[in-house]
């Protein structure tokens, strides 16, 4: 299996890139989230890869980060979703945005991604919500990974501690708009200890 490639970026024409490694040209399909961050042709590039063998084809996909590859793989675990829609997810949003959509159950935002209808969006939320909390962590994505509000930040943190989304919802239900994420987490953990 090919897990990573480092070489010379020979050409790029969305969604394809050609990477020359040791005299061999690898053609990879990349999501737009990776494509936008590519260097100029002729420069060195490292891509995290996913190698897929199907009945009718062999495909190699490239990603800028491990978080993108993990999302690509996790999305395909949802029944009825393949590589094409998984790439569309990463082309229509970044890992952090997608994680937020799942955590908040934002069906409307998910259906704006090409190839995802209402039923598919609902299925994705149900099947991926538990995994989405670990998809976008600040250590992997830098400061851009911080959630939009304190309640979302606290909910993600509690899920990373091992609580299920249903438990988290129950734990943070009394949170006020003015509470900080730290206050919400503290109160939620106290209520969990009392239960």
Omega within 30 of 0 (cis) for the link into 15: yes
pLDDT for 140: 39
**For the chain, what is the domain count?**
3
Shared domain for 86 and 127, answered yes or no, is yes
Q: What is the CA radius of gyration of the chain?
A: 19
Helical spans, DSSP H, in the chain: 32-35, 66-75, 83-92, 95-104, 107-110, 118-135, 138-141, 150-160, 165-171, 181-194
Shared domain for 127 and 71, answered yes or no, is yes
Residue 116's CATH number? 1.10.150.20
Q: What is the DSSP letter of 116?
A: -
For the stretch 14-71, pLDDT in tens is: 889 999 999 999 999 999 989 988 999 999 999 999 999 888 889 999 999 998 999 9
Q: pTM of the full predicted structure?
A: 0.66
* H/E element, 189: helix 181-194
Residue 20's CATH number? 2.40.50.140
For the stretch 121-172, pLDDT in tens is: 898 888 887 776 555 544 433 433 444 467 777 777 777 677 777 777 778 7
Range of the domain at 83: 66-141
Q: Among the three residues 15, 47, 63, which one is the final residue of a domain in this structure?
A: 63
Residue 60's closest CA among 139, 4, 116? 4
Shared domain for 71 and 111, answered yes or no, is yes
Shared domain for 114 and 50, answered yes or no, is no
């Amino acid at each position: 299996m090919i897990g990573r490639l480092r070489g010379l970026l020979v050409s790029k024409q969305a969604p394809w890139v050609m990477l020359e490694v040791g005299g061999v040209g690898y053609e990879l399909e990349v999501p737009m989230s990776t494509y936008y961050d590519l260097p100029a042709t002729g420069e060195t590039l490292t891509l995290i890869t996913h190698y897929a063998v199907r009945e009718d084809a062999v495909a190699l996909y490239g990603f800028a980060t491990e978080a993108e590859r993990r999302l690509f793989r996790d999305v395909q675990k949802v029944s009825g979703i393949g590589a094409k829609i998984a790439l569309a997810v990463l082309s229509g949003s970044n890992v952090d945005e997608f994680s937020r959509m799942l955590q908040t159950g934002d069906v409307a935002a998910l259906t704006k991604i090409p190839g995802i209808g209402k039923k598919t969006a609902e299925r994705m939320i149900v099947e991926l919500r538990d995994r989405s909390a670990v998809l976008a962590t600040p250590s992997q994505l830098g400061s851009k990974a911080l959630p939009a509000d304190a309640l979302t930040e606290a909910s993600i943190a509690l899920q990373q501690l091992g609580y299920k989304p249903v438990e988290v919802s129950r734990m943070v239900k009394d949170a006020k708009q003015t509470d900080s994420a730290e206050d919400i987490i503290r109160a939620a953990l106290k209520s969990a200890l009392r239960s």
